[in-house]
Amino acid sequence: MQLLKFSAIWCPACLIMNNRYNQIQEKYKLNITEYDYDLNHEEVTKYQIGKTLPVVIIVDEKGQEIKRIVGELSLKKLEQQIEELL
């Protein structure tokens, strides 16, 4: 399982979620690939990110999307989302 994280430096929710995703990464030993909304146009288009950030797409070992998390979540809610997939 891999997480693809789309965020931007001007996004307040992204700044808040960065720390939470770092905690999730450490706790569950997840691989997170980060993309900048303004710099990674090809990936933003490919994954149809839209205007609400941050977006985290969880993909399986074949690269197929299995879950999409959009916006700001509490650490507890985020952990619940991840644990459902483990």
pLDDT value at position 1? 87
pLDDT value at position 86? 85
What is the number of structural domains in the chain?
Answer: 1
DSSP for 2-28, please give it: EEEEEE-TT-HHHHHHHHHHHHHHHHH
Measured in degrees and rounded to the nearest 5, phi and psi for residue 19 equal -65, -40
Query: Which run of H or of E encompasses 75?
Result: helix 75-85
CATH number at residue 57: 3.40.30.10
pLDDT value at position 32? 95
pLDDT value at position 19? 94
pLDDT along the chain (86 residues), means of 10: 95 95 94 96 96 96 94 95 90
Q: Which residues contact 52 (CB under 8 A, 6 or more apart)?
A: 70, 71
pLDDT value at position 11? 96
For residue 12, give its domain range.
2-85
